[in-house]
Amino acid sequence: MDVSLTRIVMALVLGTMLAVLAALAIKRGGGRFDMAVVRRLFVALPTERRIHVIESRRVSQHADLCLVRCDGEEYLILSSAQQQQILRTGVPADAPSEGAPGEDARA
- For the chain, report the end-to-end CA distance as a whole number of angstroms: 90
pLDDT category at 92 given cuts 50, 70, 90 is low
pLDDT category at 100 given cuts 50, 70, 90 is very low
| pLDDT at residue 20 in the model | 92
CA 105 to the chain's CA centroid: 42
pTM: 0.44
DSSP assignment letter at 105: T
